[in-house]
Chains A and B, each alone.
Chain A
Amino acid sequence: MSEFIYLYRSTNEASRAAMGSPEQMQKSMQTWMAWMQQLADKGHIKNPGHPLERAGKLVKGKQRTITDGPYAESKDVIGGYTLVEAKDLAEAVELSKGCPILEGGGVVEVRPVLKTGM
């Protein structure tokens, strides 16, 4: 088994647009939970990870320039991450296809965790 990180990315506009009415928000929340639960039931969740605040700071360059971020730089914001276990990248990618963020125009970035010390 190898480890992978799912980075959930979406633009502010896309995530706002996907919100809708309270009823729709509850539905999309339940879809998220069901998807996570299903991965957990199959033993793929190494660590459910954390959601990230949308606001933050970007510290940049030798000058240590500090700007509001992350969306000042890129509109594509990482909203959270999860550590999963899968046979290989192909399986990790396959499993990510059920992620509800995709329905709202978001992106799942699947990145293998680099194995060290072997």
Chain B
Amino acid sequence: MTDLHEHLFRREAGRIVATLTRIFGVENLALAEDVVQDAFCRALEVWPFRGVPENPSAWLMATAKHRALDVLRHERTARTLAPELGRLLESEERLSPAVEELFRADAIKDDQLRMMFSCCHPGLPEAAQVGLMLHILCGFSVDEVAAAFVSTHAGVEKRLTRAKKVLAESGRLFEIADAADFATRLPAVHRALYLLFNEGYHGASPESAVRVELCREALRLTALLFEHPLGSTPATYALAALMCLHAARLPSRLDAAGHLSVLADQDRSRWDPHLMAEGQRLLERSATGPQLTEYHVEAAIAAVHASAPRVADTNWTQIVSLYDTLMTIRPSPVVALNRAIAVAQRDGPERGLEEIGAIADSHRLAAYPFYHAALGELELRRGRIEAAREHFRAALGLARNAMERQFLEQRMETCEGGKASRPA
């Protein structure tokens, strides 16, 4: 019996919906989703009796294709299908070869890009863009999107319904053939992919499997982007590099007991050498052209960490200076916080605390547990146990899942122990 890829259906759903939406037109997204559902129902009915086909993806794709042809034959006159393809789908004899052509592997890749760019519609808030990509291109259900973003079913459903409406009203999918339009929309796509990855890497979901999957999906979609001639820009390579270099550390984010482990404590032998090398390779490819993006800088920071065999070997001067650059390109309180932590590593906890105190809009960090945890860490390091405990307690009150809670409880216990047992 053929073994199925763990998330085969989910991934195929994204691929097939993208192609079907291209065929049916963007206002018929729901129809595309129905056809995919039908294809999966077929698999569910047939595979238990016949076994998994040799190429399950191709089987699902072919089943969806047949069903799409049926739908086109029946609905061609009743509905307005994709205006871009109108003439192709008009006549019976042209229909079948046209659909055959639309289901070619390279066409399917382009369809996913069209959908990716369409999801990043400027009329949508960033969170909606990311949710929509996850839903349509990665096949996550409303509940699965809600779980990934630690949001409610109703909240996500409302957001997605609105987003789909905006998508439908745009009348057609984003046209990736136009180089100028492509370049204009590209930064929004980068941003959405970055946020998707971050949701996996730093996000609040208590399920580490969910988070690994989000990172993996972000990487997969980014790879689609750099495989396209217009998408293979230095910024795309930098984004992919930063994802690889971070994803390489995922296995060690949880220690042997399944507890959250901060960068300084991670067992670096568990960093994935393959992803590490891939990240380095992509980072080198990104180093062309005049444009320095936040992705370049973040990837460079990750690369500095990656090149240190032990935390004590980290070149903190270099990291502080990279954060300085990042603050000029894309300033944010979180970046400022990370910069302050790097300063503390270089110059000691007092300097770090000064830097944190100087963060301009630090009130925006008030609800972020790791802001308080960082304060606690630095107070602990300079021996002010009582202050440290207060900060860790504040952080604990904001913890977003059991893993974070456990980590912060353990930091509080360190305070109870009365000494900073943990080196920088």
Main SS of the interface on chain A? helix
Cross-chain contact of B139 among A21, A36, A51 (Cβ < 8 A): A21
Question: Is B40 a contact partner of A19 (Cβ separation < 8 A)?
Answer: yes
Expressed in whole angstroms, the Cα–Cα distance for A88 and B140 within the complex equals 44
List residues of chain A with CB within 8 A of the CB of B1.
33, 37
* Residues from 26 to 57 in B contacting A, C-beta threshold 8 Å: 36-37, 40-41, 43-52
Closest B-chain residue to A100, C-beta based? Answer: B48
Closest B-chain residue to A48, C-beta based? Answer: B49
* Residues from 2 to 43 in B contacting A, C-beta threshold 8 Å: 4, 7-10, 12-13, 36-37, 40-41, 43
- Which of these binds chain B: A24-32, A66-74, A107-115? A24-32
Interface bin, chain A: 20 to 34
Main SS of the interface on chain B? helix
Q: A21-B144, A22-B139, A23-B9 are in contact. Are A33 and B47 (CB under 8 A)?
A: yes
- CB of A64 closer than 8 Å to a CB of B: no
Question: Is B141 a contact partner of A29 (Cβ separation < 8 A)?
Answer: no
Closest B-chain residue to A25, C-beta based? Answer: B40
Expressed in whole angstroms, the Cα–Cα distance for A59 and B59 within the complex equals 34
Closest B-chain residue to A30, C-beta based? Answer: B4
Expressed in whole angstroms, the Cα–Cα distance for A28 and B48 within the complex equals 10
List residues of chain A with CB within 8 A of the CB of B46.
51
16 inter-chain pairs at a CB distance below 8 angstroms, sorted by A residue, are A19-B37, A19-B44, A22-B13, A23-B9, A23-B139, A25-B43, A25-B44, A26-B7, A32-B47, A32-B48, A36-B48, A48-B49, A51-B45, A51-B49, A79-B45, A82-B49
Query: Which residues of A are in contact with B by a Cβ distance under 8 Å?
Result: 15, 19-26, 28-30, 32-33, 35-37, 48-51, 79-80, 82
- By Cβ-Cβ distance, the 3 closest A-B pairs, closest first, are A21-B141, A26-B9, A22-B9
